[in-house]
Chain A
C-alpha cells in the first residue's frame, strides 16, 4: 500500500488528513513539525508522497523541504505543500526549495485526493 507522510502542527489537521487518506486506501505516517518528518525519513521511512504545512515550529515547511531534498531516499519524492498561505512569494520560495505542488487551505477532500492519486496511484 502506498504511504503518505503528513506534516502539520495542528493535531486536528493531521487526524483529518489521515482519515481522508486512509479512507482512500493509503498508509499514513505523521509528524507535528518538519523536524519529526526529517527524523522519520532518517529512520528509513520512504513515503510515496509527502504532504507538508508551511508554518510549523522547530523546523518549518520550507526548511523541511530543503533538508529532505538533500536526502537521497526522498530526493525525487513528490512533496505537496498544504497551507493557509497563498502568496506568490511563499510559493516561489517553496518551489525553489524543491516542492512539487501546492494546495491552499481550505481545500476539499476530493481536491486533495485527486492531487495525491495523480502523483501516487493506488
Chain B
C-alpha cells in the first residue's frame, strides 16, 4: 500500500493540536490542592496546639521553671514554623497560579495554530501571542527571545 503524502501544512497543524493536548494535560496535573490542604491543616493544627500550650501554662501556675521554659520555647518554635508554613503555601500557590497562566497561554496559541486556515508559517504571529499574556514576566521573556533571535 502506497504511503499517503500529507501536505506540510496539515502536518504542522496536527503537531500543534497534539502539543496543545499535551500541554493541557500537563497543566491539569499542576494542581497541588492536596499538598496545599495539608500545609493549611498543619498550620491550623499548630495554632490549636499553641492555644493548648497557652492554656496549660495559665492553669499550671508556673510551678516548674524547667517546664515553663520549655513551654515558652515550644510556643516560639510553633509560631515560627506556622509563619514559615503559611509563607510557603502562599508563595507556592502564587507560583502555581503563574505557571498555569503560562500553560493557558501556550495551549491557546497552539490551539489557534492548529485550526488556522492560513498558509503554513503564518498561522499565528508573535504579536498574536503577546496579546495572550497576563504578566509582565511573560512580556519580558518574549522581548528577550525576540532580541536574541534578531542577534
Binding site for B on A (CB under 8 A): 8, 10-13, 15-17, 19-20, 23, 54-55, 83-87, 105-109, 112
Q: Considering the chains assembled together, what is the distance between the CA atoms of A92 and B47 in angstroms?
A: 40
Q: Considering the complex, which residues of chain B in the window 83-115 have a beta carbon less than 8 Å from any beta carbon of chain A?
A: 86-87, 89-91, 93-98, 100-101
- A29 → chain B closest CB, angstroms: 18
How many A-B pairs with Cβ below 8 Å?
73
Interface of B is mostly: helix
Given A13-B97, A85-B134, A109-B36 contact (CB < 8 Å): no
Q: Distance in Å from the Cβ of A83 to the closest Cβ of chain B?
A: 8
Contact B91 A12 (CB under 8 A): no
Let me know if B74 is at the binding interface, CB within 8 A. Answer: no
Q: A23-B47, A55-B101 are in contact. Are A12 and B135 (CB under 8 A)?
A: no
Q: State the B residues within 8 Å of A (CB).
A: 31-33, 36-37, 40, 43, 47, 86-87, 89-91, 93-98, 100-101, 134-137, 139
What are the residues of chain B within 8 A of A85 when measuring CB–CB? 134-136
Question: Contacts A10-B93, A12-B96 given: A109-B137 contact, CB under 8 Å?
Answer: no
Is A84 a contact partner of B36 (Cβ separation < 8 A)?
no
A84 touches B134 (CB 8 A): yes
Determine which residue in B43, B93, B137 has the highest number of CB atoms from chain A within 10 A of its CB, and name it: B93
State whether B90 touches A108 (Cβ < 8 A): yes
Q: Which residues of chain A are near B137, meaning CB under 8 Å?
A: 84, 86
A16 touches B90 (CB 8 A): yes
Q: Is the CB of B139 within 8 A of A87?
A: yes
Residues of the B chain whose Cβ atoms lie less than 8 Å from the Cβ of A108? 87, 90-91
Q: Name the contact of B97 in the complex, choosing from A19, A23, A54, A105 (C-beta under 8 A).
A: A105
Report the nearest A residue to B85, measured CB to CB. Answer: A19
Greatest chain A CB density within 10 A among B31, B43, B94, B100 is at B94
| Contact assessment for A84 and B89 in the assembled complex, using a CB-CB cutoff below 8 Å | no
Whether A12 lies near B93 (C-beta < 8 A) is: yes
21 contacts across the A-B interface (CB closer than 8 A) = A10-B96, A10-B100, A12-B36, A13-B93, A13-B94, A15-B93, A16-B40, A16-B89, A19-B43, A19-B86, A23-B47, A55-B101, A55-B134, A83-B135, A84-B98, A84-B134, A84-B136, A85-B134, A86-B136, A106-B91, A107-B94
Please determine whether B40 and A19 come into contact, CB atoms closer than 8 angstroms.
yes
From known contacts A19-B43, A85-B136, infer whether A109 and B90 are also in contact, taking CB-CB under 8 Å: yes
In the complex, the chain A residue whose C-beta lies closest to that of B135 is A84
